[in-house]
């Protein structure tokens, strides 16, 4: 973005003379949009008729989830930069391209995994840095390493954080789900066949590598058998600094599909909102979800008739009012609308101040796994948690006047 001009790079997949696309290779291109009126004021495309102009890979793996991030183009002063991650070379490959689409040079930045590579994703942070999550493991996840790397725009390493201590449970599958609004979302799956239960554990990290929130969702024997349809998609609640899990589901063909929002509540989850869809044949899955600054939720959904595999698909953008979805009914400090006290700053690096506490209180501090880490008595107006590691904590505040729970994020 420069002076209200948004420059958007494109994968030009045109196949000259065929009228179609080969879907996996492309030319670099870009357009410039005036954000005041939405008009395209400039564009640049390569000359297809020049046989010396190469095509570039546009898809890293199979459609949908793949082990690595798809290659992407960036505009530069003299053309383009294509950045991709090579599974063969185990490193970034930056290809500098002239404005007419010809290769100028290539640079490689190697990545070193501690164990066998399992996953590697990279993404652009809001502050202009490049974030990456690398995952390696031995057989059956006996040993594992999850590491967050932060680079500058030229891929010079700025910092790295070991996230492995947050993933101590048994793992069947690990997936870096997405990066959004300056946060990272991961999900691990554990299928326990002895009790016929699937456990989905979502972690939310900021781009400094700090754990912000954790949410666990179960599919259980006797409760979730015989589902007609179900779909989960996590997103970041930037207002309350937490995870939100979107859920669309139909239990029986005779019942409507419904849409739900879940949030973590200590070591359990709570339903934030439920919406029932009119009719019994309309199904949808969330393909993309993000939260706007005002708390509204923007969804990109796929609609279809589940009992008719040949039915067409419809794709729609939906904007959900944050207040109607019970997102902005609580304060930015993640207090319940019934909470009287105000705990701040949140996040904090150590001291948490407590406003409106009329009498001394006892405070129990637990982590998001439910472990009690600290119990304090006769607290008047502040608590020091500087000795605790970065992460999210639950403050259970009790006095003769109040009994409240507050989520506090500790940062380094």
Q: What are the DSSP E strand ranges found in 193-337? A: 197-206, 211-219, 229-237, 242-250, 258-265, 268-276, 283-291, 297-304, 314-320
Classified as helix, coil or strand, 264 is strand
Q: Is the pLDDT of residue 63 over 60?
A: no
Rounded Cα gap, residues 147 and 132, in angstroms: 8
Q: What is the pLDDT of residue 306?
A: 62
> Which residues on neighbouring strands pair with residue 93, listed in sequence order?
84, 108
* Section 72-81 average pLDDT: 93
Tell me: do 280 and 175 sit in the same domain. Answer: no
Rounded Cα gap, residues 238 and 295, in angstroms: 7
Residue 71 domain-assigned (yes or no): yes
* Section 247-268 average pLDDT: 82
Residue 335 domain-assigned (yes or no): no
Tell me: do 195 and 239 sit in the same domain. Answer: no
Q: What is the pLDDT of residue 286?
A: 86
Reading across the β-sheet that carries 268-276, which strands appear in turn? 229-237, 242-250, 258-265, 268-276
Q: What are the DSSP E strand ranges found in 141-196? A: 144-151, 157-162, 173-180, 183-192
As a whole number of Å, the CA-based R_g of the chain is: 24
Is pLDDT larger for residue 338 or for residue 217? 217
Three-state DSSP string of 125-144: CCCCCEEEEEEEECHHHCCE
What is the count of structural domains for the chain?
4
Q: What is the pLDDT of residue 90?
A: 86
Q: Is the pLDDT of residue 381 over 80?
A: yes
Is pLDDT larger for residue 313 or for residue 83? 83
Q: Which two tokens stand for residue 168?
A: 């101590």
How much of the chain exceeds pLDDT 90, in percent?
43
Tell me: do 309 and 358 sit in the same domain. Answer: no
Residue 334 domain-assigned (yes or no): no
Instruction: Single out the residue of 150, 128, 16 nearest to residue 74, CA to CA.
Output: 128
* Section 174-182 average pLDDT: 89
Rounded Cα gap, residues 127 and 95, in angstroms: 23
Rounded Cα gap, residues 383 and 7, in angstroms: 47
Tell me: do 101 and 118 sit in the same domain. Answer: no
Per DSSP, 277 falls in state P
Residue 368 domain-assigned (yes or no): yes
* Section 191-196 average pLDDT: 84
Q: Is the pLDDT of residue 49 over 80?
A: yes
> Which residues on neighbouring strands pair with residue 95, listed in sequence order?
82, 106
Residue 58 domain-assigned (yes or no): yes
Tell me: do 181 and 104 sit in the same domain. Answer: no
The band of 142, judged by pLDDT with boundaries at 50, 70 and 90, is very high
Tell me: do 395 and 347 sit in the same domain. Answer: yes
Tell me: do 235 and 214 sit in the same domain. Answer: no
Rounded to two decimals, the pTM is: 0.76
Residue 19 domain-assigned (yes or no): yes
Q: Are 214 and 242 within 8 A, CB to CB?
A: no
Q: What is the pLDDT of residue 8?
A: 93
Q: Which two tokens stand for residue 339?
A: 């909470």
CA 30 to chain centre: 26
Q: Please name the residue that has the structure tokens 């669309």.
A: 248
Tell me: do 92 and 160 sit in the same domain. Answer: no
pLDDT in tens, 81-94: 999 988 777 889 99
Q: What is the pLDDT of residue 333?
A: 39
* Section 279-308 average pLDDT: 82
Q: Is the pLDDT of residue 330 over 60?
A: no
Q: What is the pLDDT of residue 331?
A: 35
Q: Are 373 and 393 within 8 A, CB to CB?
A: yes
Q: Please report, for the domain that includes residue 397, its CATH number.
A: 2.60.40.3080
What is the average pLDDT value for the chain, to the nearest integer? 85
- Let me know the angle formed at the C-alpha of 98 by 44 and 104, rounded to the nearest 5 degrees: 160
Classified as helix, coil or strand, 338 is coil
The residue range of the domain holding 72 is 1-110
Q: Which two tokens stand for residue 412?
A: 């380094």
Domain boundary among 221, 255, 285: 221
Q: What are the DSSP E strand ranges found in 268-309? A: 268-276, 283-291, 297-304
Q: What is the pLDDT of residue 17?
A: 65
Domain boundary among 221, 253, 271: 221
Residue 336 domain-assigned (yes or no): no
Residue 16 domain-assigned (yes or no): yes
Per DSSP, 307 falls in state T
Tell me: do 106 and 148 sit in the same domain. Answer: no
Q: What is the pLDDT of residue 316?
A: 87
Tell me: do 36 and 92 sit in the same domain. Answer: yes
Classified as helix, coil or strand, 165 is helix
CA 63 to chain centre: 19
Domain boundary among 299, 329, 359: 329
Classified as helix, coil or strand, 166 is helix
Tell me: do 64 and 137 sit in the same domain. Answer: no
The band of 104, judged by pLDDT with boundaries at 50, 70 and 90, is very high
Tell me: do 7 and 103 sit in the same domain. Answer: yes
């Amino acid at each position: 973005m420069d002076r209200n001009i948004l420059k958007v790079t494109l994968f030009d997949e045109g196949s000259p003379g065929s009228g179609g696309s080969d879907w996996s290779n492309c030319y670099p291109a870009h357009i410039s949009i005036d954000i005041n009126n939405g008009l395209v004021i400039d564009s640049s495309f390569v000359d297809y008729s020049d046989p010396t102009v190469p095509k570039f890979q546009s898809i890293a793996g199979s459609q949908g989830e793949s082990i690595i991030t798809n290659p992407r183009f960036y505009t530069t002063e003299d053309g383009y930069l294509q950045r991709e991650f090579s599974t063969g070379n185990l490193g970034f490959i930056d290809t500098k391209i002239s404005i007419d689409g010809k290769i100028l040079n290539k640079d490689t930045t190697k990545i070193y995994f501690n164990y066998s590579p399992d996953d590697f994703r990279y993404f652009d942070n809001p502050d202009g840095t490049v974030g990456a999550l690398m995952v390696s493991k031995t057989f059956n996840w006996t040993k594992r390493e999850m590491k967050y790397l932060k680079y500058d725009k030229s891929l010079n390493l700025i910092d790295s954080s070991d996230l492995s201590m947050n993933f101590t449970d048994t793992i069947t599958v690990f997936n870096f789900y997405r990066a959004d609004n300056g946060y990272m979302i991961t999900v691990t799956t554990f299928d326990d066949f002895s009790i016929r239960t699937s456990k989905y554990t979502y972690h939310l990290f900021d781009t400094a590598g700090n754990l912000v929130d954790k949410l666990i969702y179960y599919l259980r024997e006797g409760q979730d058998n015989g589902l007609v349809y179900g779909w989960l998609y996590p997103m970041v609640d930037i207002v309350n600094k937490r995870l939100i899990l979107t859920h669309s589901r139909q239990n029986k063909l005779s019942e409507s599909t419904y849409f739900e929002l879940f949030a973590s509540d200590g070591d359990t989850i709570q339903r934030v909102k439920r919406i029932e869809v009119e009719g019994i044949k309309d199904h949808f899955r969330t393909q993309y979800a993000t939260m706007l600054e005002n708390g509204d939720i923007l969804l990109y959904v796929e609609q279809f008739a589940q009992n008719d595999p040949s039915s067409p698909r419809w794709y729609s953008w939906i904007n959900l009012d944050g207040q109607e979805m019970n997102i902005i009914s609580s304060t930015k400090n993640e207090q319940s609308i019934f909470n009287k006290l105000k705990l701040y700053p949140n996040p904090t690096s150590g001291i948490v101040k407590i406003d409106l506490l009329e009498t001394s209180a006892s405070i129990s501090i637990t982590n998001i796994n439910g472990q009690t880490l600290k119990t304090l008595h006769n607290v008047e107006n502040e608590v020091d948690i500087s000795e605790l590691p970065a992460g999210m904590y639950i403050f259970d505040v009790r006095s003769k006047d109040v009994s409240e729970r507050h989520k506090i994020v500790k940062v380094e």
